[in-house]
């Protein structure tokens, strides 16, 4: 039977909606029809239009902008997401309609009573307190539906901590606060639910998600896939390399590791399996690459915009700092995929099955222009809001160049709807994470946790880094990128700051480990989604994905020890040196992980390659010389063992 036909049948057998629903809560919404569908569509379009209006004509006062943003998110979440799996997904339930109405009124309470609330700040009425209690409960329930249970449990524990802190032991102890004080702090100040996380969601994060929706409507997702196939499809282990490349590219327009895994994995994973890759490895490649999309400049995951806001530096500085780590991350995966393919004798795809690079670029090169526009504006110091607006405008304009990419009124409205629905998970996650941040600001927990971790590590940097890594991996389990960064930066980063680590470096450290929680067992949502497509063992897939993403476990330690990897206080010549030597270092680490180069690598030599790779990733003249010498020795030994010409050869 023709291989193409077999692959089509394999893809058709996959219930992608079911996989996404299981591992990506944000995509598990109702599929409605009739009036209900039209109402939700209209509401989603209004949400996008509100965000565009305030971006163009000026953002409203903080609490108004954020509360209206939260109102839209509340109503859409309760209408779109059923309260349990048992509820039908093809029709509304009266309970959800009731909750949507009440939550909408709670969200608008601040807008309706804005001046009065300002006048009686700190002296709320019983009605104010009642509404604030409802707001906290609605945030928790909305988060349970659209984000997942882990973040709800964490936020609930923090609320209990704020109330019962007087009973906590050691450095966790504080005097405790009344329910009235807690809920008013959470809802009527800009320190809790309406704090910095949702402030960023209500301004430029929404616009960048909307930008991604407009890009998607121009067909850029298929362009990226075709481009990756044209570049890497014929190479050794072609489908796996296509997965790495396409996932890195689509990370620009996808804010979810799981959605990226399912979207590109639906065709790359069956292709990998058809060429002989083990199911666990095929699922792991896609999961690891898709998770790395959140780390990939120039347009990273939504958490990167939050980082810029938390640290108080331009987003362009975040993107520049992420360049070398992201390059090392994807290079590491690429090298290991290549070595695995060579070790098992796998070939690339037949050229007749692949698009031609010249044709792909010749016909659709212009689809890259919106990304060029937005990158240029971000790097030139333009505000993220303005950059996103021009990105959206340029996406509409370039789409007009060809008939098949041109937007009409229908596709324009679909993009507005798609952007609003795509922003719900971020908005609700930010609101729920705001409860955690609010508890930290109310009780001083961040400083307490920082002191506690440092004390536990004996005041030494490396043990503190290790404990912070473990904390970030645990706190990031089951939480989307945005939420896990907010949690880890609030709880874990202060420990590093206390030891004098540069703020950007500290936040990048927890950012990395929070993100790779998506592929780290026992709760590895992206790896589990890849496993579902590959029909493989989930834990083994997660272990393979962690192995492929070894760079993500090593690089954060390196850039804390030597911030030059983040381009901090470095020169152009040093950047070139760091990039080249670090890539060679990843080659050595890849050999150590795969145990193959020219032939099988024994255990002792694998350790030697690993040490050489680590030496090269750590910037410095002496470490570079030592690393190159070690890796050079290892490769020469392998050549001498497996490829050296002998007198017996003809």
pLDDT band per the 50, 70, 90 thresholds, residue 296? confident
Lowest-pLDDT choice from 95-99, 210-214, 220-224, 598-602: 220-224
Q: What is the mean pLDDT of residues 94-121?
A: 91
Residue 474 and residue 456: Cα distance in Å, rounded? 17
Higher per-residue pLDDT: 465 or 170: 465
Burial class, 644, CB count within 10 angstroms (exposed 0-12 / middle 13-18 / buried 19+) = exposed
Contacting residues for 635 by C-beta, under 8 A, at least 6 apart: 597, 598
Q: Which pLDDT does position 124 carry in this prediction?
A: 86
Q: Indicate whether 340 pLDDT > 90.
A: no
346 touches 283 (CB < 8 A): no
pLDDT digits (tens, 9 = 90+) for 399-415: 888 887 788 889 999 99
Residue 272 and residue 239: Cα distance in Å, rounded? 5
Q: Which pLDDT does position 256 carry in this prediction?
A: 66
Contacting residues for 109 by C-beta, under 8 A, at least 6 apart: 67, 131, 135
Q: Which pLDDT does position 532 carry in this prediction?
A: 80
What share of the chain in percent tops pLDDT 90? 20
pLDDT digits (tens, 9 = 90+) for 1-17: 444 554 454 444 555 55
Residue 298 and residue 566: Cα distance in Å, rounded? 14
Q: What is the mean pLDDT of residues 334-341?
A: 83
Q: What is the mean pLDDT of residues 104-121?
A: 90
Residue 220 and residue 197: Cα distance in Å, rounded? 29
Lowest-pLDDT choice from 219-228, 245-254, 558-567: 245-254
Q: Which pLDDT does position 102 carry in this prediction?
A: 96
Higher per-residue pLDDT: 367 or 37: 37
Q: Indicate whether 20 pLDDT > 70.
A: no
Q: SS3 of 523, please?
A: coil
Higher per-residue pLDDT: 12 or 282: 282
Q: Which pLDDT does position 422 carry in this prediction?
A: 85
Q: SS3 of 156, please?
A: helix
pLDDT digits (tens, 9 = 90+) for 249-267: 766 555 567 777 776 777 7
Q: Which pLDDT does position 63 carry in this prediction?
A: 92
DSSP state of 59: P
Q: Indicate whether 596 pLDDT > 90.
A: no
pLDDT band per the 50, 70, 90 thresholds, residue 650? very low
Which sign does the torsion angle of CA 617, 622, 626, 629 carry? positive
Q: Which pLDDT does position 1 carry in this prediction?
A: 45
Q: What is the mean pLDDT of residues 457-481?
A: 79
Q: Which pLDDT does position 25 carry in this prediction?
A: 61
- Of these ranges, 251-255, 479-483, 484-488, 503-507, the one predicted with the greatest mean pLDDT is 503-507
Mean residue pLDDT of the chain comes to: 83
Q: What is the mean pLDDT of residues 130-149?
A: 92
Q: Which pLDDT does position 179 carry in this prediction?
A: 93
Residue 431 and residue 194: Cα distance in Å, rounded? 7
What share of the chain in percent tops pLDDT 70? 91
Cα distances from 388 to residues 52, 200, 379, 384, in angstroms, run: 10, 13, 13, 6
- Of these ranges, 70-74, 220-224, 294-298, 577-581, the one predicted with the greatest mean pLDDT is 70-74
Burial class, 31, CB count within 10 angstroms (exposed 0-12 / middle 13-18 / buried 19+) = exposed
Q: Which pLDDT does position 367 carry in this prediction?
A: 82
Q: Which pLDDT does position 6 carry in this prediction?
A: 47
Residue 43 and residue 125: Cα distance in Å, rounded? 32
Residue 627 and residue 609: Cα distance in Å, rounded? 9
pLDDT band per the 50, 70, 90 thresholds, residue 644? low
pLDDT digits (tens, 9 = 90+) for 503-561: 999 998 988 888 888 788 877 778 888 888 888 888 888 888 888 888 778 888 888 88
Q: Which pLDDT does position 38 carry in this prediction?
A: 92
Q: Which pLDDT does position 90 carry in this prediction?
A: 77
Residue 377 and residue 219: Cα distance in Å, rounded? 23
Q: What is the mean pLDDT of residues 95-110?
A: 94
Higher per-residue pLDDT: 12 or 486: 486
CB atoms within 10 A of CB 402: 14
């Amino acid at each position: 039977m023709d291989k193409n036909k077999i692959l089509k049948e394999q893809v058709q057998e996959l219930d992608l909606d079911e996989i996404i629903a299981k591992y990506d809560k944000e995509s598990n919404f109702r599929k409605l029809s009739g009036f209900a569908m039209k109402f939700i569509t209209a509401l989603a379009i209004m949400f996008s239009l509100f965000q565009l209006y305030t971006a163009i004509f000026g953002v409203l006062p903080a609490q108004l902008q954020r509360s209206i943003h939260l109102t839209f998110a509340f109503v859409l979440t309760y209408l779109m997401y059923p309260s349990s799996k048992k509820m039908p997904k093809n029709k509304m339930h009266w309970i959800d309609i009731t909750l949507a109405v009440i939550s909408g009124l709670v969200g608008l309470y601040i807008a309706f009573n804005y001046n009065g609330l300002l006048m009686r700040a700190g002296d709320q009425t019983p009605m104010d307190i009642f509404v604030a209690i409802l707001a906290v409960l609605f945030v928790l329930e909305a988060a349970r539906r659209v984000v997942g249970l882990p973040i709800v449990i964490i936020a609930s524990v923090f609320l209990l901590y704020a109330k019962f802190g007087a009973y906590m032991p050691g450095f966790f102890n504080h005097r405790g606060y009344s329910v009235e004080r807690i809920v008013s702090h959470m809802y009527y100040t800009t320190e809790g639910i309406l704090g910095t996380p949702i402030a960023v969601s209500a301004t430029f994060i929404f616009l960048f998600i909307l930008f991604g929706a407009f890009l998607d409507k121009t067909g850029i997702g298929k362009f990226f896939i075709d481009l990756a196939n044209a570049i890497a499809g014929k190479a050794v282990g072609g489908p796996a390399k296509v997965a790495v490349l396409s996932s890195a590219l689509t990370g620009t327009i996808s804010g979810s590791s799981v959605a990226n895994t399912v979207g590109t994995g639906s065709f790359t994973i069956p292709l990998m399996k058809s060429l002989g890759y083990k199911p666990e490895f095929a699922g792991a490649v896609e999961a690891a690459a898709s998770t790395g999309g959140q780390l990939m400049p120039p347009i990273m995951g939504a958490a990167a915009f939050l980082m810029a806001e938390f640290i108080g530096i331009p987003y362009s500085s975040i993107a520049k700092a992420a360049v070398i780590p992201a390059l090392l991350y994807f290079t590491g995966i690429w090298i290991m995929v290549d070595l695995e393919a060579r070790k098992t004798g796998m070939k690339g795809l037949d050229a007749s099955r692949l698009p031609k690079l010249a044709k792909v670029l010749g016909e659709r090169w212009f689809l890259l222009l919106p990304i060029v526009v937005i990158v240029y504006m971000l790097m030139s110091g333009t505000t993220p809001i303005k950059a996103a607006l021009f990105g959206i405008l340029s996406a509409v304009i370039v789409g007009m160049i060809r008939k098949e990419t041109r937007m009409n009124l229908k596709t324009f409205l679909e993009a507005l709807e798609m952007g609003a629905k795509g922003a719900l998970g971020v908005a609700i996650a930010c609101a729920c994470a705001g409860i955690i941040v609010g508890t930290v600001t109310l009780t001083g927990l961040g400083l307490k946790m920082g002191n506690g971790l440092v004390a536990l590590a004996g005041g030494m940097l490396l043990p503190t880094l290790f404990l912070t890594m473990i904390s970030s991996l645990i706190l990031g389990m089951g939480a989307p990128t945005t939420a896990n960064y907010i949690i880890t930066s609030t709880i874990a980063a202060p420990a590093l700051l206390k030891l004098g680590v540069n703020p950007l470096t500290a936040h990048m450290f927890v950012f990395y480990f929070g993100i790779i929680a998506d592929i780290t067992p026992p709760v590895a949502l992206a790896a589990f989604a890849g496993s579902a497509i590959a029909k493989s063992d989930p834990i083994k897939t997660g272990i393979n994905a962690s192995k492929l993403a070894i760079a993500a476990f090593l690089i954060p330690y390196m850039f804390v020890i030597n911030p030059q990897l983040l381009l901090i206080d470095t020169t152009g010549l040093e950047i070139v040196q760091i990039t080249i030597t670090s890539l060679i270092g990843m080659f050595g680490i890849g050999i150590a992980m795969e145990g193959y180069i020219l032939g099988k690598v024994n255990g002792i030599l694998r350790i030697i390659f690993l040490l050489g790779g680590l030496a090269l990733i750590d910037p410095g003249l002496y470490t570079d010389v030592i690393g190159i010498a070690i890796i050079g020795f290892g490769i020469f030994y392998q050549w001498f063992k497996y490829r050296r010409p002998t007198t017996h050869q003809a």
